[in-house]
Amino acid sequence: LEASQTNSNVVLGGSWDMGFIFPQLHPGFDAMFCIAKLIEMLTIQEHSLGQIRSELPRVCHKACTIRCPWTVKGALMRHFVETHPSENLELIDGVKIINAQTDDWVLILPDAGEPLVHIFANSDDRDWVDDSLRKYRTYVQEFVEQEQGIEAPKAEALIS
């Protein structure tokens, strides 16, 4: 949305929660216009939606959200940075922990407006995604409890 206001060349904007903006129409999310543009693009390309879908890589992307007090968020992020090799980290949005051999990743993203942490896992292996989400959810919950004086988490990197 911000980019479309400062750059007249922007024709499409998207968000992680599947919202799309077409700035030429109006500066807001519009599902009906998105469907109309999708149909238009399919017609121009002379493809069906099924054909396009079959060409996409099979990727599993899941997320979960965990309560995390404001006072613990910074320590949690710092802990992930300190317990994982720097070559496996991307620190653009939250802490993204990448498996260099497979390009699988987990993103720990603190919520800017609520006492929450979002955990995203991405891989072409559904079992890996489910297992990683379970491990990181448990790890974050244990870390929060430890910071609040309840019990200590295991200090080990979770992605190998």
- Could you read off the pLDDT of 4-48 as tens digits, one per residue? 566 677 666 666 666 666 666 666 666 777 788 788 889 998 989
In the CATH scheme, what is the code of domain 60-147?
Answer: 3.30.310.50
Tens of pLDDT, residue by residue over 49-107, are 899 888 887 889 999 999 999 999 999 999 999 999 999 999 988 999 999 888 899 99
Sketch the domain layout of the chain as residue ranges.
Answer: 2-55, 60-147
Question: Residue 119 forms beta bridges with which residues?
Answer: 64, 108
Q: What is the pLDDT of residue 39?
A: 87
Query: At which residue do the structure tokens 């390309």 appear?
Result: 45
Q: What is the pLDDT of residue 117?
A: 97
Q: Is residue 1 pLDDT above 60, yes or no? A: no
Nearest alpha carbon to residue 110 among 84, 78, 85: 78
Nearest alpha carbon to residue 104 among 34, 141, 57: 57
Q: What is the pLDDT of residue 53?
A: 85
At 137 the three-state DSSP class reads helix
Question: Under a CB-based contact definition with an 8 Å cutoff, are residues 68 and 115 in contact?
Answer: yes
Model pTM greater than 0.85? no
